[in-house]
Structure 1
């Protein structure tokens, strides 16, 4: 999934205006202009589209955690990820929305996407570990879909997993 897709999805999920979305970046330690933000929110076939780089996405995800949970001054600042993978996005969303393992399964079930406990656990392991598994676009897309249904309180139609 592109970072732009993730930004659009989270924006819709939380019903954030452009200034509110810019404020989330600000919480993560990055000032973003409305013009830059607008270019990141465009779809890739629209004129003026600009891909969102890893560094701004890292700031956004850290800002999202602070936006949802509040700033914790007792903890040291988290380092920024130089490369933002689907696994990192999934981890940050889990932290931001305070989701436990059962919550993660429930969110995926809302989207009609089944994942076993070991498969889900493997997504949160450190890269390079024996049981590490890379998070695919389909899983992240369905997770965002299920999380949107959960956050917005929508009753889903019979869910059909989204495919790549």
Structure 2
């Protein structure tokens, strides 16, 4: 999925306004600047006038900010380095950490979205890329996970 889709999905799921997204992004690194006009361009859909592709650094700071928002700041004095490349696996991992989800919770989220996955499939998503059982998270899988989370946070 493109970074813009992930940002829009999480924004809808948590019912976040633009100022709140900027606040959450700064939680990861107070020195990181995200202008409201830039954010508005990232939140537009492809093909709309003013659409700009969301840079990986913005999404990485936002996801790290979500972790801080929901789990609290790290005990470590040095901030974590921000990832230069955001993969679907990384988005899945950051959301799992932010919302303190166990395997059972993850399976429930996928089931609620109508996309159940097995235990080995789930564990393969969180392995290191060089591991023999590593599996790349596809767009459909991430999209269904975000859909399941939305159903959990915003019931009908």
Taking structure 1 as the reference length, the TM-score comes to 0.90
2:8 paired with 1:15:
no
What is the distance in 2 between the residues matched to 1:12 and 1:91? 19
Q: What is residue 110 of structure 2 aligned with on the other side? A: 108
Q: What is residue 49 of structure 2 aligned with on the other side? A: 47
Q: What is residue 158 of structure 1 aligned with on the other side? A: none
What is the distance in 2 between the residues matched to 1:12 and 1:76? 31
What is the distance in 1 between the residues matched to 2:12 and 2:139? 18
What is the distance in 1 between the residues matched to 2:74 and 2:56? 24
What is the distance in 1 between the residues matched to 2:126 and 2:92? 8
Secondary structure of the corresponding residue to residue 146 of structure 1: helix
Structure 2 residue runs without a partner (length 5+): none
What is the distance in 1 between the residues matched to 2:11 and 2:93? 18
Q: What is residue 65 of structure 2 aligned with on the other side? A: 63
2:131 paired with 1:129:
yes
Taking only aligned residues, the RMSD between alpha carbons, in angstroms, comes to 1.1
1:75 Cα deviation from its structure 2 partner: 6.7
Give the total of aligned pairs.
Answer: 154
Q: What is residue 4 of structure 2 aligned with on the other side? A: 4
Secondary structure of the corresponding residue to residue 114 of structure 1: coil
Bigger shift: residues 93-102 or 54-63: 54-63
1:73 Cα deviation from its structure 2 partner: 2.7
Q: What is residue 25 of structure 2 aligned with on the other side? A: 25
Q: What is residue 159 of structure 1 aligned with on the other side? A: none
